A and B are shown apart, each in its own frame.
Chain A
């Protein structure tokens, strides 16, 4: 009986040791980035039907403010989002090359469908197509980091 208990203990220790999580290496991050940009995130060729006018960008800012700001901040650069760095993976700055190198169609696809298994949810049906396209324009024309203050839900 003791031998069985010892064997079980060693088995579970081995299993849990195998489950240990650590930050991804540079190579792993590179592979994930390549996979998302070229395989999993679709709609690469669709163009934004909205022109980048001041009015459309302002509409995008408005659409973005409905609930995107809860994770991405008012400026799309995580300003004032208390958990942005502690999520796994961390919430990316929308001004980063990782995000900006997606095509407009891919950004629309990400907002529509989300990215599993990150924290990015699907928003199709929550925002209209027009609002999402305008939000893509806003993402292409983000204001300076911190210039819009913290999201209202986190303001003291």
Chain B
């Protein structure tokens, strides 16, 4: 990720299957927070960060950067598709 986008911007996972997202940042510290899934982490530059979880509900969930990173911070999103 870097200001102000996640790459990829969309990820599809399956309900009930454990997932580990490995997050790295190319510029400054960022975060990733899915309020509906009660998931949150912060990512420091040069320090890959793992976010492990098992999705327990189906749907599309939008995660936001949770560490203020500049003018496009509020539109920096990652969409998680959870399917059956």
Chain A residues bordering chain B, tally (CB within 8 A): 13
Contact B72 A130 (CB under 8 A): no
| Residue A66 interfacial (CB < 8 Å) | yes
| Residue A117 interfacial (CB < 8 Å) | no
| Residue in B closest to A131 when the chains form the complex, CB atoms | B74
Question: Beyond A124-B74, A125-B75, is A130–B35 a contact (Cβ under 8 Å)?
Answer: yes
How many chain B residues sit at the interface, stated as a range, is: 10 to 19
| Residue B30 interfacial (CB < 8 Å) | no
- Of B33, B35, B71, B74, the most chain A CB neighbours within 10 A belong to B74
Please provide the chain A residues from 14 to 51 with a CB less than 8 Å away from any CB of chain B in the complex: none
What total count of A-B pairs have CB within 8 Å? 29
| Residue in B closest to A50 when the chains form the complex, CB atoms | B35
* Contact residues in B for A94 (Cβ distance below 8 Å): none
Contact B73 A126 (CB under 8 A): yes
Contact A66 B68 (CB under 8 A): yes
State A123–B70 Cα separation when bound (angstroms). 11
Please provide the chain B residues from 66 to 84 with a CB less than 8 Å away from any CB of chain A in the complex: 68, 71-75, 77
| Residue A115 interfacial (CB < 8 Å) | no
* Contact residues in A for B73 (Cβ distance below 8 Å): 66, 126-128
* Contact residues in B for A131 (Cβ distance below 8 Å): 64, 74
Please provide the chain B residues from 45 to 73 with a CB less than 8 Å away from any CB of chain A in the complex: 64-65, 68, 71-73
State A58–B72 Cα separation when bound (angstroms). 22
State A78–B66 Cα separation when bound (angstroms). 26
State A126–B74 Cα separation when bound (angstroms). 4
* Contact residues in A for B75 (Cβ distance below 8 Å): 125, 128
* Contact residues in A for B64 (Cβ distance below 8 Å): 128, 130-131
In addition to A125-B72, A126-B72, 11 A-B residue pairs with Cβ atoms within 8 Å of each other are A66-B68, A125-B75, A126-B71, A126-B74, A127-B73, A128-B73, A130-B33, A130-B35, A131-B64, A131-B74, A132-B74
Q: Which 8 A-B pairs have the closest CB atoms?
A: A66-B68, A128-B64, A127-B74, A128-B74, A125-B75, A125-B74, A126-B74, A126-B71
- B interface vs A, CB < 8 Å? 33, 35, 64-65, 68, 71-75, 77
- A interface vs B, CB < 8 Å? 63, 66-67, 123-132
